[in-house]
C-alpha cells in the first residue's frame, strides 16, 4: 500500500496518464480525455478526467460487532487505538472544509460499524448545527439501531442504510458469524418509526448461501416500504478468498427478480448514485416500488463516480479499490490551516484512477486488491 503524506503540485504538462500527450486548451480535454492541470485549481474535488466529487463518505470507526464473511475474518482485525481515530472536532472540520470550500453536497457516515462509536449522536448534532441543509445518511448493520434510531433522527440524521443479506436467521448467522438477526429486524422497524426514510436495505448475495433470495428479499422490502439495493460481492474481504466464479452478477440478480416482477429502468436512474435503479411492476403493470443494483464488478460506473472517501484515521481514498492513500490527519493535528487541508484533499482526488472495473481490473487476472478490507475503508 502506498501512503502519501502529501502530494506535490502536479506540473502543467504532467496531468496526462499518457506520456507525451499535448496539453489541452483551458477548459478543454486533451485527446486522451485528460483535463489540463489548470482545471485542478478550481475550488472543487476534480480529477484529471473531469469527474467532480460531491459525495463525501467518512468512516467513523473501524470496529464492527459482526464478522461478515465477505468483509472480515472470524477473529476480527487489529483495531485502531482511540487516539488514531479522527475526533469529533476533526470530523466536523473536514466536513466544514468539504462543504464550504470544495463543493461537497452530501455526507454518508460509515464504518466499521458507526453505532459502535459512543459519540455518534454528538458527531451528527455537531455537523447538523453547522450545515442545516446538508443531507446526512449513515450505513449500519442495524445491531443496536432499535435503541438509537430516534436519537439519531433528533440529532439531524436524514436517512439510513441497513445491511441485511437474508430473511432467515440461520443464514444470517452463517454469513455474519453472529446470532443478531432479531436485533437487525428490530433496528429496521425502529428506523421506519423514527422517520429515517427512505430506509434502504443493502444486500449481498453469496453463491451457495443466499443466492436464491433475490425475489424474496424484494417482496419483503416492497411490503414494508423499504428500498432494496443488491450489491455485487466485491474483492474487499480481509481473508482474500474472493473469486470471480463465486460472484452472483447483476445480470443473474435481474433474471431472478424477473421471475416474479417486471423491471423497467427508472427515469431517475443513477444521477451520480452507484445503484442502477429500476421500477418494480406487477403483472398488471402497476408500479410497486423501486429496486437498485450496484454492479461494481461486472457493470462498473466509474465514469460517473462522484465519491470521495476518508478512512477512520483520516486518509483520503479517491476510489474504493485504490492502493494509494493521502493523509489528512497530520494536517489536522499540526496546526495547518484549512487552505492546506483543502489543497491536499484536492491533490489526492486529482490523481483518482480512470476506472477499476471490467475493462480495467476486477474481472481481470491482473487486478491487485487493496490491502484494506471494506471495514477498514468505510462503505
Q: Flag whether 68 is marked binding.
A: yes
Q: Flag whether 49 is marked binding.
A: no
Answer whether 73's CB lies under 8 Å from 67's CB. Answer: yes
Per 3-state DSSP, the chain is made up of helix, strand and coil in percentages (nearest 5) of: 30, 20, 50
In angstroms, rounded to a whole number, what is the distance separating the alpha carbons of residues 65 and 143? Answer: 8
In angstroms, rounded to a whole number, what is the distance separating the alpha carbons of residues 293 and 289? Answer: 14
Q: Record the cell numbers describing residue 236, joined without a space.
A: 474487499
Burial tier of 6 (Cβ tally within 10 Å: 0-12, 13-18, 19+): middle
Q: Flag whether 344 is marked binding.
A: no
Q: Flag whether 29 is marked binding.
A: no
Q: Flag whether 306 is marked binding.
A: no
In angstroms, rounded to a whole number, what is the distance separating the alpha carbons of residues 306 and 298? Answer: 19
In angstroms, rounded to a whole number, what is the distance separating the alpha carbons of residues 270 and 253? Answer: 18
DSSP letters along 123-156, please? HHHHHHHH-TT--EEEEE--TTHHHHHHHHHHHT
Q: Flag whether 244 is marked binding.
A: no
Q: Flag whether 364 is marked binding.
A: no
Q: Flag whether 17 is marked binding.
A: no
Please enumerate in sequence order all residues whose Cβ is within 8 A of that of 226, keeping only pairs 6 or more positions apart, or say none.
188, 192, 198, 199, 200, 201, 220
Q: Flag whether 57 is marked binding.
A: yes
In angstroms, rounded to a whole number, what is the distance separating the alpha carbons of residues 65 and 121? Answer: 18
Residue with cell 440524521: 157
Answer whether 35's CB lies under 8 Å from 15's CB. Answer: yes
Answer whether 367's CB lies under 8 Å from 235's CB. Answer: yes
Annotated binding site: 57, 64, 68, 70-71, 108, 112, 139, 163, 200, 234, 302, 305, 307-309, 319
* Known binding residues for GTP: 57, 108, 139, 200, 307-309
Which residue positions form the known binding site for [4Fe-4S] cluster? 64, 68, 71, 302, 305, 319
Residues flagged as binding site for S-adenosyl-L-methionine: 70, 112, 163, 234
Amino acid at each position: 500500500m502506498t501512503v502519501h503524506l502529501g502530494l506535490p503540485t502536479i506540473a502543467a504538462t504532467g496531468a496526462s496518464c499518457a506520456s507525451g500527450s499535448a496539453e489541452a486548451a483551458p477548459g478543454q480535454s486533451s485527446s486522451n480525455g485528460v483535463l489540463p492541470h489548470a482545471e485542478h485549481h478550481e475550488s472543487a474535488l476534480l480529477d484529471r478526467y473531469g469527474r467532480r466529487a460531491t459525495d463525501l463518505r467518512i468512516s467513523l470507526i473501524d470496529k464492527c460487532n459482526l464478522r461478515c464473511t465477505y468483509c472480515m475474518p472470524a477473529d476480527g482485525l487489529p483495531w485502531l487505538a482511540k487516539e488514531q481515530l479522527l475526533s469529533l472536532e476533526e470530523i466536523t472540520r473536514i466536513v466544514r472544509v468539504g462543504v464550504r470550500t470544495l463543493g461537497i453536497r452530501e455526507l454518508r457516515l460509515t464504518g466499521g460499524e458507526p453505532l459502535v462509536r459512543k459519540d455518534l449522536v454528538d458527531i451528527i448534532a455537531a455537523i447538523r448545527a453547522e450545515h442545516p441543509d446538508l443531507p446526512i445518511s449513515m450505513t449500519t448493520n442495524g445491531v443496536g439501531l432499535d435503541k438509537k434510531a430516534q436519537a439519531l433522527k433528533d440529532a439531524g440524521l436524514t436517512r439510513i442504510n441497513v445491511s441485511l443479506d437474508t430473511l432467515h436467521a440461520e443464514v444470517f448467522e452463517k454469513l455474519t458469524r453472529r446470532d443478531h438477526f432479531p436485533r437487525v429486524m428490530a433496528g429496521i422497524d425502529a428506523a421506519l418509526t423514527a422517520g429515517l426514510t427512505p430506509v434502504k436495505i443493502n444486500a449481498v448475495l453469496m453463491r451457495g448461501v443466499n443466492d436464491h433470495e433475490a425475489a424474496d428479499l424484494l417482496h419483503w422490502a416492497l411490503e414494508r416500504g423499504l428500498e432494496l439495493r443488491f450489491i455485487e460481492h466485491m474483492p474487499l474481504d480481509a481473508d482474500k478468498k474472493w473469486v470471480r466464479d463465486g460472484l452472483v452478477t447483476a445480470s443473474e440478480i435481474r433474471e431472478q427478480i424477473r421471475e416474479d416482477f417486471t423491471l423497467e429502468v427508472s427515469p431517475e436512474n443513477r444521477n451520480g448514485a452507484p445503484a442502477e435503479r429500476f421500477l418494480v411492476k406487477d403483472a398488471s403493470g402497476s408500479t410497486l416500488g423501486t429496486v437498485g443494483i450496484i454492479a461494481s464488478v461486472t457493470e462498473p460506473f466509474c465514469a460517473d463516480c462522484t465519491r470521495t472517501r476518508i478512512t477512520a484515521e483520516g486518509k483520503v481514498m479517491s476510489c474504493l479499490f485504490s492502493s494509494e492513500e493521502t493523509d489528512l490527519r497530520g494536517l489536522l493535528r499540526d496546526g495547518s490551516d484549512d487552505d492546506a487541508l483543502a489543497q491536499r484533499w484536492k491533490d489526492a482526488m486529482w490523481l483518482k484512477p480512470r476506472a477499476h472495473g471490467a475493462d480495467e481490473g476486477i474481472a481481470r487476472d491482473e487486478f491487485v486488491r487493496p490491502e484494506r478490507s471494506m471495514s477498514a475503508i468505510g462503505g
